[in-house]
Amino acid sequence: MAIAGLQRISSQISRNPTLSLSLSSRAILSRSSATSSSSAKVSDRIVKLIAYDFDGQKREIVGLSGQTLLKALTNHNLIDPASHRLEDIDACSAECEVNIAEEWLEKLPPATYDEQYVLKRNARHRILNKHSRLGCQVVLTQEMQGMVVAVPEAKPWDTP
């Protein structure tokens, strides 16, 4: 059936050469518009962050907009990827807890009820730090350029 359709188009093109130009230019336009609209350059998606590891070492890390903060931190070996296998809030046990500088907390979307629940559950009889967020729930955007994040020391019950 598809072959018959191609043969029909081929015979129409041989009878009308301007149709060939019209079809090929339309195909090029549709391909180029689909490519340019659906994906931006990687350089346009780069988000540079400042992260402090649990030893207090300052590091510049790079992530991509649309990526989670957890992914950016694991790509730079600040969080062990094996300690947090899923980015699903239902499977989260807060191994990706990070502390975000106060001036940046206000710029982030508020934590969801589920994220607050996981953080409170993980607090384990300690006062919950108001700067705490789950790295798996913070999605990077261009507005987060320069955000300051601190990675706390892993708790003994979090290490695999």
For the segment 84-99, what is each residue's pLDDT rounded down to a tens digit?
Answer: 665 566 667 677 889 9
pTM: 0.67
pLDDT at 60 over 80: yes
pLDDT of amino acid 133? 92
Length of the chain counted residue by residue: 160
Residue type, 17: P
Residue 91: CA atoms inside 13 Å, Cβ hemisphere, count? 7
| 141 confidence band (pLDDT: 50, 70, 90) | very high
Q: In order of start, what are the domains of the chain with their CATH numbers? A: 2-38 (no CATH), 42-150 (3.10.20.30)
pLDDT tens by residue, 114-126: 888 888 887 766 6
CA dist list (Å): 89 to 2, 55, 129: 46, 28, 19
